[in-house]
Structure 1
Amino acid sequence: MPHAERSPDDLRRRLGDWAKRRLARLGGVEIGTIIAAQGGASSETWLIDALVGPDHRPAHWVLRIEPRGHQVYQDPSVARQYRVIEVLAGESGLSIPTPIAQEDDPDILGAPFFLMARAPGVAPPNDYHREGLLATATRAEREAMWAQGIALMARLHRLDPAPFAFLAPPGNAPGVDGVAQELVRWDRYRGWAAIPHLPLYDHARRWLEDHRPAPRPPGFAWGDARPPNLLFADGRCTALLDWETASLGGAETDLGWWLFYDRMICEAAGVPRLDGIGDAERTVALWEAEAGRKAQAMEWHIVFAGYRFALISERARALAIAAGRLPPEACGAANPAVQLLGELIPG
């Protein structure tokens, strides 16, 4: 259900009744202001202010409701996302909002949902080379924020993947090569998403198969590793966000995603690179220094990121066209991700 179709008053009542039962351990909860979060097309997200306990301590939460009928992703399970957050919140050295509770019963709010603490801070916008937090910062400030993001990504990649075994796609054992798991996952996604056919997708998939890197053990991957999913306050990263596509695909799938996205909104868009935000070579070098190893098969992983990004963005654009928010010609060749994918595939 989109934000516009849900009454904040009804949401407050339903959530308040649920909190009395599920959050009794907090000593009482009074739900206050509820406002729709800005941005984000894949999940319904609300910002909640509450008073907690007998002393009415202020609490600030984020409510994420599993999408129904407007799915960008094939399996948008909030239960899976919440499990990722729970595991990550137990790790030191990471900026992960505290998980509060998760609910499977769809009768409460119309779909499963979870609550987590709301971290302070501001995220860079999608076009971060043009505007927003990084664009208005000094060179030293933005370089420090960029470096923090890469260091935290590398910290994720050093985690033991065993606690994330539940991320293996159905029918795949957790120990199977991470790249193989991801290829299976995105083949299924392409079939499910009913994306209009483009010869480019077949060409890209053949290239990925023909140049598949040597098998590597699974490793935890964020899934949507990019600056807009980082919150900053006073130059310090306060939160890593968005785990809908977390996987066992391994570190390079994240690094390729970071590089593809940055190239798409910068060089491919004809936008000057902000001074202090490293190019691909500097980004990889910093990641390698933080990860303690060399990045492998990065050409392949950047193309794979482009393939995934093109499929996801085509699905999101098709939904927006159906809802009247984009013109019919916004898909295919008009999609910047599709354009860049075509430029990346050798031959």
Structure 2
Amino acid sequence: MTNVKTKIFPNRNFPLRRPSLQKEDAQISIDRWFSSNPARFEDLRVQNLQAPKSSGVANETWLVETIRRTPINKIEAPGPRLVFRLAADDFLYPRSDLRLHYDLYDCLGSISDLPVPEMLAFEEDPSFLGCRFFVMTHVEGFAAPDRPNFNYDGWLADYSVGDREAVWREAVSVMSRLHAVDVSRLTPLKLDEFSSRGGVRDCLDYWIAYADWCGAAGINLISLATDWLEENLPLTIEQRAGISWGDARLQNLLFDGTRCSAILDWDMVSLAGAEADFAWWTVADHKYTASRGLPRLEGIGSPAETIALWESMSGRELKNFDWHLVFAAFRQALISQRLVALSGTNAAATQIPHEPSIGLQWLSCLLDIRVEFTVTLPFVGLDK
């Protein structure tokens, strides 16, 4: 057992993304953009707009209700509901490129039956909203909430056990279909600027560089984990290449009833395969349930049950999952470190962390490294 000193994060604020524009300014700017696009949007204007109630960290989003002005008598009629997604270069992720999100949604919509929003326009000109942005159709549905976590409150907690199980099974079905996509047809992931994200080796390289970028490389526990991941990297022949959604969580799926209406958020997309997704799913699940000694919602399967269901749907087994669990904890620890660095910035609203991240705590457990903080979120196995 190795004994290391690890920086214990102070009791500081974790950020949520704060809108870069006031609501009134955003409405004026979007109306101006509508007028500048006569082929498709000139007759539209904003009737109402709002940020999502459960706003995330990586990107800024506006939900826009529109009205349509008829060309002859100017009578106003209901227009489409739209979503404006704004760029967030180097906020939470280095080398973040909104264009990848747009192209990936568009590609998946054309080559698969996955539920993705229709892409309508990509705007390169930052003069409208202060940055690049894209526009997509609004999709009906609800995401499982983060705050409070869906295991404690919200629409999913109000569902019957049978409906919760249907939601869980639908989520796993969507992931099995995503992981079955032929990676040779995922042309957005073959762009030169994203080639370093291809495969497990290159995905690891990205996150090692992330550790330097976010200032975590000097933390002893991160350094030891980096060495372990390098030394135990799965051989390419043992690791099936495939798309990894990245931020694979129930909260990043929209549901209309028990049907998944959209899969969202591609900030962490790579070609590291399904294994990376289910390791991340496990961390996200246990953060609010098993690692805290709390039950998950009845009807939602454990990580072991989720993996077994996916394997039965996909017809193959996950490989090298122990390595991917460490990799998922490593990534979570790095993102948490970046969130600490962002705390208190003008771009952030806040909530207060009161313990070291689950990523750091799991690294100490999975790698059997003694640390100076108290482990309050232990790894307790996949079947919990």
TM-score, reference length from structure 1: 0.90
Counterparts of 1:118-133 in structure 2 under 5 Å?
118-126=138-146, 127-133=149-155
Q: CA RMSD in A?
A: 2.6
Q: Which amino acid aligns with 1:296?
A: K
Deviation at 1:138, TM superposition (A): 1.1
Q: 1:159 to 1:25 in 2, by over 3 A?
A: same
- Which residue of structure 1 lines up, in the alignment, with residue 285 of structure 2? 262
1:144 corresponds in structure 2 to 166
Give the residue type in structure 2 aligned to 1:154.
S
Which position in structure 1 is the counterpart of 2:31? 16
Q: Which amino acid letter does the alignment assign opposite residue 43 of structure 1?
A: N
Q: CA deviation at 1:2?
A: 5.9
Counterpart selection for 1:209 from 230, 247, 253: 230
1:62 to 66, 83, 99: 83
Alignment of 1:140-289 (within 5 A): 140-167=162-189, 178-195=199-216, 197-215=218-236, 216=239, 218-289=241-312
Mapped to 1, the partners of 2:310 and 2:368 lie a distance apart of 25
Q: How far 1:88 sits from its partner (Å)?
A: 1.4
CA drift of 1:168 comes to: 5.4
Q: Is the 8 A contact 1:26 1:53 kept in 2?
A: no
Please state if 1:40 is matched with 2:56: yes
More divergent stretch after superposition (45-54 vs 263-272): 45-54
Which is bigger in relative contact order (C-alpha 8 A, separation at least 6)? 2
Over the matched positions of the two proteins, sequence identity in percent amounts to 32
Q: In 2, distance between residues paired with 1:115 and 1:172? A: 22
Q: For the residues of structure 1 that align with 2:85 and 2:61, how far apart are their CA atoms?
A: 5
**CA offset digits 1:72-115 (Å, max 9, x no partner):** 11122111111111111224431111111111222221111111
Confirm whether residue 108 of structure 1 aligns to residue 128 of structure 2: yes
**What is aligned with 2:375?**
none
Instruction: Determine the structure 2 residue equivalent to 1:292.
Output: 315
Query: Which residue is 2:8 aligned to?
Result: none
Counterpart residue number, 1:83: 103
Per-residue CA shift, 1:125-151, capped at 9, x if unaligned?
222222223222111111110111111
1:61–1:116 CA contact under 8 A, matched in 2: yes
Partner Cα separation in structure 2 for residue 235 and residue 275 of structure 1: 15
In the alignment, the residues of structure 1 paired with residue 83 and residue 23 of structure 2 have an alpha-carbon distance, to the nearest angstrom, of: 14
Distance 1:305 1:23, change over 3 A: farther
Question: Does the Cα contact within 8 Å between 1:122 and 1:231 map onto a contact in 2?
Answer: yes
Q: Which amino acid aligns with 1:13?
A: I
d(CA) in 2 for partners of 1:335, 1:14: 39
Instruction: Tell which deviates more after alignment, 16-25 or 307-316.
Output: 16-25
Write the letter of the residue equivalent to 2:366. L
Q: CA deviation at 1:177?
A: 6.5
Instruction: Give the Å deviation of 1:119.
Output: 1.1
**Which whole-Å CA distance do the structure 1 matches of 2:23 and 2:312 have between them?**
47
The one of 327, 340, 357 aligned to 1:304: 327
Over 6 Å off, 4+ runs: none
Query: What displacement does 1:161 show?
Result: 1.0
Aligned partner of 2:122: which letter?
A: Q
Aligned length: 342
Is the partner of 1:325 in helix, strand or coil? strand
- Normalising by the residue count of structure 2, what TM-score does the alignment of the two structures yield? 0.81
Q: Max radius of gyration: which structure?
A: 2
Query: The residue matched to 1:108 in structure 2 has which SS?
Result: coil
Residue 117 in 1 paired to residue 137 in 2?
Answer: yes
The verdict on how the C-alpha distance between 1:196 and 1:248 changes in structure 2, with shifts beyond 3 A counting, is closer
Show structure 1 runs of 5+ residues with no match.
none
- Unpaired runs of 5+ residues, structure 2, are 1-15, 71-75, 370-384
Q: Which amino acid in 2 is paired with 1:17?
A: R
Report the Cα distance in structure 1 between the residues aligned to 2:287 and 2:52, rounded to whole angstroms: 25
Give the Cα separation in 1 of the matches to 2:367 and 2:128.
47
Give the deviation of 1:71 after TM superposition.
Answer: 0.4
The structural deviation recorded for 1:24 is 1.9
Higher helix proportion: 1
Q: Distance in 2 between matches of 1:214 and 1:172?
A: 22
